[in-house]
Amino acid sequence: MSYFPSLTKMEIYIIVVMFMVGVISADTNVVIQTKLGKLTGVKTESNLKFLGVPYAEPPTGNLRWADPVGRSPWSPAMYDATKLKPGCPQKGCFDMNPAFVCPTEVSEDCLYLNVFAPVTANSSSPNLPVLVYLHGGNFVHMSSNAVLFDGSVLSANGQMIVITLDYRLGALGFLVTATSNTAAGAKGNYGILDQRMALKWVKDNIRDFGGDPDKMTLSGQSAGAQSAVIHMMTPASSKYFRSVILESSPFSIPYKTRVEALYLGDLLADNLGCSRGDINCMATKSADDIATAQHTIRSDPTSIKLLDFFEPLGPFVDGSVVPYQPLEAMNHGIIADVPILIGTTSEETRIYIYEAWKKNLTVPLYTAALIGTFGPNHITQVLQMYPPVHVKDERDDLQHVSTDFIFSCAKRNFSRVAINQNKNAIFNYVFDHAFSFDGWGPNFTCCKNHVCHGSEIPYMFQPDFKNMTLNADEKVMADALGKYWSNFVKSGNPNKGGVTPPTLEWPQYNNSTNFSALRFATPRNNILVNVKQELCDFWDTVGYGA
């Protein structure tokens, strides 16, 4: 392996001395040369890991609420990429999410990515495919430095490079005070632009890690999947990847309009003690002050739409960075024509419903929630399709309605339009397995023995975490999932590309009357046909807000 290219004799001497005195050891460190300078990473038996690599200048000072700026070279210095960097500023992550997805520390200086490569990766033969993963978290929480998102196992087993990254969240990433795209003030969607900058960085630099820049797949879960769809809308982003993996994208949750985004900006200014629209005043506040304020205002709806409570902060449709709502973009035919692997869990909204209603939900409240979401014109039909069955506590029934409307059937709608417009393949899945381990912790007992939002992620990454020990059947399922994912990254087809392809052929979704999906479950996976056909046919007639 040529992982000491272009080192001077003095640098080699220094490294040798460091080996001798034990500062670094031959089996734990590796150095590579990049266009920006040299990086010191970590070498394990199975991986090369470069952690906390800067892909943009720190978004602080004059760069707060500004488009990201590419990172300046650090050469001739050696950059230490052996430790994870802090996540982006946020509040309340541990209250609203399991601990294993939350950052251990935060900083406004947070635009970093992590590179996980197989130990055999070689810069002189850059041919490995690349998976870029965007974390979820409602655009306000989570971080790539969380234990769950360690890409070591996925990279080593799949023989591909895995990239995880952080992007600006909440008000720091999505504040809008500008009344138009050309007016002064915060223009929003900075978190999306951060992601685009990271994609460009990977495209420009991945050869130095042994990766092929022409074999990039963009992946994301929840808000990360929503982000991936946004990148599919614009050539400025879609030129950086050749396929996408969309895990649990809530297609029916609308992005903000400018009016709604401006209203959120006004609420933030009020909470910070600034005049509305006064970006100069807000710029004087600390990142912690802003994160605290955004956590306070996120409980206020920006309209009468009940769905706003699911995702009160995030992207807004500016006609440029975010041209349309996702289903609207598909209907306009502007989504990139690339292979798509797309899926949901079987109980996506359970965690949100049980967090929103801490006690039993009565039938009148169930009906009111449906009216608040779908309006009075559709309430009779919705109640016919989803009658109140659990009359003592309607939270389960509301979970079924919201999962189908926001995730499962909206996903089907997206897939059907895509297959009718595009020539590339689509592969659908349903993840339907509850943790055998205590992965949710004491704050989320509603998800114990249930398949909540994000349940597939531990089986995808298989992190080395004491609370995530898989049983034998789960290990088989997780390894199969990893093979399907890595095959897709390599070839655009989950059935082709691996050394040992999974034994169950994943059917391509190929027409609008046979909605087939691979069901991930134990003791074995299986194929589903015409998934929720009657229910999704109903939602197609109601519409998804696009």
How many domains, in total, are found in the chain? 1
Q: How far apart are CA 300 and CA 425, in angstroms?
A: 41
Q: Considering the domain boundaries, does residue 537 fall inside one?
A: no
Catalytic residue among 152, 155, 222, 252: 222
Catalytic site residue 222?
A: yes
CATH number of the domain to which 228 belongs: 3.40.50.1820
What's the whole-number mean pLDDT along residues 223-246?
Answer: 97
What's the whole-number mean pLDDT along residues 436-463?
Answer: 94
pLDDT of 115 > 50? The answer is yes
What percent of the chain is predicted at pLDDT more than 70?
A: 91
Q: Considering the domain boundaries, does residue 128 fall inside one?
A: yes
3-state secondary structure at position 264: helix
Report the 10 Å Cβ neighbour count for 276: 14
Q: Are strands 128-134 and 112-118 parallel, antiparallel or unpaired?
A: unpaired
Q: For residue range 285-341, list pLDDT tens digits in order.
A: 999 999 999 998 876 544 445 566 667 789 999 999 999 998 889 888 899 999 999
Q: How far apart are CA 489 and CA 155, in angstroms?
A: 11
Top-confidence residue, 434 or 75: 434
Residue at 241: amino acid letter: F
User: Which of 513-517's residues contact partners 24+ apart within 8 Å by CB, and which partners?
Assistant: 515/412, 515/415, 515/416, 515/428, 516/428, 517/343, 517/428, 517/429, 517/430
Which pLDDT value is given to residue 466? 75
Report the 10 Å Cβ neighbour count for 440: 24
Q: How far apart are CA 127 and CA 292, in angstroms?
A: 45
Q: How far apart are CA 115 and CA 131, in angstroms?
A: 10
Residue at 531: amino acid letter: V
Q: Considering the domain boundaries, does residue 457 fall inside one?
A: no
pLDDT of 11 > 60? The answer is no
Q: Considering the domain boundaries, does residue 427 fall inside one?
A: no
Which pLDDT value is given to residue 3? 43
Q: At what angle do helices 363-374 and 395-402 cross, to 10 degrees?
A: 20
Q: For residue range 472-485, list pLDDT tens digits in order.
A: 999 999 999 999 99
Residue numbers of the domain that contains 318: 28-338
Q: Considering the domain boundaries, does residue 464 fall inside one?
A: no
Cα-flanking dihedrals φ and ψ of residue 335, to 5°? -75, 135
Average pLDDT for the chain = 90
Alpha helices by DSSP H, 90-174:
93-96, 152-158, 170-174
Look-up of token digits 């093979």: 483
Q: Cis before residue 235, ω within 30 degrees of 0?
A: no
Q: Considering the domain boundaries, does residue 188 fall inside one?
A: yes
Residues shown for the chain: 546
Q: Considering the domain boundaries, does residue 392 fall inside one?
A: no
pLDDT of 12 > 80? The answer is no
pTM over 0.85: yes
Q: How far apart are CA 273 and CA 270, in angstroms?
A: 5
What's the whole-number mean pLDDT along residues 437-453?
Answer: 92
Which pLDDT value is given to residue 269? 97
Q: Considering the domain boundaries, does residue 290 fall inside one?
A: yes
